[in-house]
Structures are given as structure tokens and as C-alpha cells.
Amino acid sequence: MKYRLAAFADEAAPDLAGQIAAMRENGIVLLEIRGVDGENIDRISDDKAREIRERLDGAGIAVWSLGSPFGKIGIGENFAPHLDSFKHSLELADILGAKHIRLFSFYGTTDISPVLERLNAFIEAAKGSGIVLCHENEKGIYGDTAAKCLEIHKALPQLRAVFDPANFIQCGQDTKQAWELLSPYVEYMHIKDALPDGSVVPAGKGAGELPFLLSRYKGKVLTVEPHLSVFEGFDKLESEQKTKMRYTYPDSRTAFSAAVNALKDIIGGQENG
């Protein structure tokens, strides 16, 4: 396969054993680690990180990135403990063997100055660590549209980009236009698609222009982030009801596999095209 696939496996199962099983079922060997055994990745202990690393190594799985929540706080909140937590996560990344940490650009401001100040504090803290910091576009934060993301990357060229098509759609941003602006800064992509109304659907089924984006993407790693709807009573519905809920799944594991297979279908179509 042209790409190496990573995944947010906590969307398949909350526990590490379930995450490993789901990844192995789908042939994925890279993990974007976000939540394990009921804990967010930024809150685990060093000992827990060592345990996770040992179990992942045994399963032939490597940690690609820490899917951290850094930058997902209000710009007016106390930043000092947030920065301390980030510094701890640099230690966790080292233990886990991750070379990337994704982060965000804060809620509650249209002024770029405090955003850059805080993002630069992350950059300074990470100097010498070998960790690549990657900003993800997200609805509601400063860097929600492509133009605002571009401002950030021009001001802080050390900061790379995680390109998330669905998040752009949810902000009313055309993904092709976003790609033209941001492609020089893209480190990797989150594979998530959405309809114009913002509802998340499998890759290639929405307005995200995933085939186009992948045809332009020069990187090697794609992280599957399903975010698909799960309805536990789905199997008991009548066929007509199921048709109306076309992209709804009976459980998280099935939704995870559907998201992975949708991406593989796009990649297969490109390789065979």
C-alpha cells in the first residue's frame, strides 16, 4: 500500500486490548494514541506509558502521534498548568516512541497574538526533544478556517499541520481551497469526511474531496478518525429504517472497520486507476 495507516483506536474500544485487536483486524500498525483504559493520554503516568509501550511492541504496533488536547482550552484560562501538562506529555511521547504531538489553537479569541504566544511556548518547551508539533484545524478554535491556519503557520513555521477535511467542512471551508493554502505545511492527515450539514460520514462519502486530497498528498501516513454514528439497536431496525440511517453502525468496532475500509477503497481506486 502507498500509505501507512494510523488510527484513533480509542474509537474502536476504550481499553488497550480492544484497541490492539481492532487495529490487527484491520491491518493497522500505527496508533494515534488519545485515550487508554479511561484516561486521556496527557494524564497517564510514566509507568502506565511504559506498560502501554511494552504491550504495543509485543503486538507489532508503534505510536505515531499523541492525539493530545493541548490548545483546547479558552484563551483566558490559566495557561501555566496546561503548559506543565504539555511538558509531561513530551516525556510520555519519548517513552511511547512517538515523534508527533497534535495540538490546537485555543477557544475564545479572534486575536492571533495570545494564540501565537501560547503556541510558541509549546514550541520552546519541545526544543531538542525531536518531537514534531502539529496544529489541527478544528471548529471553534482560532485556527478553524484555512486562512487563519495559514496565519499561524506563516508566523510559526516550525509548527506543522494536521489536515482534517471534516473539520473544515464543519466550518464552511472548501477543502480544495484549504489544501491549496496549507499543503506546504501538512505533516499528515486525519481521514474524516462530512456532509455539508456537518454530519460525519465514511471517507469519500461526503463533501471533503478525499480522492482529490489524497491525489495531492505527498506524505506517507494517514490517521483514520472514524467519528461515525453508533446506534446499539441498529441490528433490530427494519430495512427501511436502516436505509435512512445509512452511515450508522451497531457498535464502535463495526464503525471503526467501516471507516478503515472506506479509506482503503479510495486508496485502492487510486492504485488501480
Query: Nearest CA to 71 among 6, 116, 126?
Result: 116
Strands 193-194 and 200-201, bridge-based pairing = antiparallel
- The predicted pLDDT at position 231 comes to 78
Residues comprising the chain, all counted: 273
- The predicted pLDDT at position 75 comes to 98
Q: What whole-number distance in Å separates Cα of residue 200 and Cα of residue 75?
A: 28
Q: Give the confidence band of 271 by pLDDT, cuts at 50, 70, 90.
A: confident
- The predicted pLDDT at position 236 comes to 58
Domain limits for position 134: 4-272
Give tens-digit pLDDT for 61-82.
999 999 999 999 999 999 999 9
Q: What whole-number distance in Å separates Cα of residue 66 and Cα of residue 98?
A: 7
Q: What whole-number distance in Å separates Cα of residue 239 and Cα of residue 242?
A: 5
% the chain with pLDDT above 70: 94
pLDDT(246) > 60: yes
pLDDT(49) > 60: yes
Which has more pLDDT, 189 or 246? 189
Report helix, strand or coil for 186.
strand
pLDDT(243) > 80: no
Q: Give the confidence band of 270 by pLDDT, cuts at 50, 70, 90.
A: confident
Through-space distance between the first and last CA atoms of the chain, rounded to whole angstroms: 14
Give tens-digit pLDDT for 126-141.
999 999 999 999 999 9
Q: What whole-number distance in Å separates Cα of residue 157 and Cα of residue 99?
A: 18
- The predicted pLDDT at position 235 comes to 63
DSSP 207: S
Amino acid at 195: L
- The predicted pLDDT at position 272 comes to 77
% the chain with pLDDT above 90: 91
The CATH number given to whatever domain includes residue 142 is: 3.20.20.150
**pTM to 2 decimal places:** 0.94
Strands 100-103 and 186-191, bridge-based pairing = unpaired
Number of domains the chain is built from? 1
- The predicted pLDDT at position 12 comes to 97
DSSP 38: T
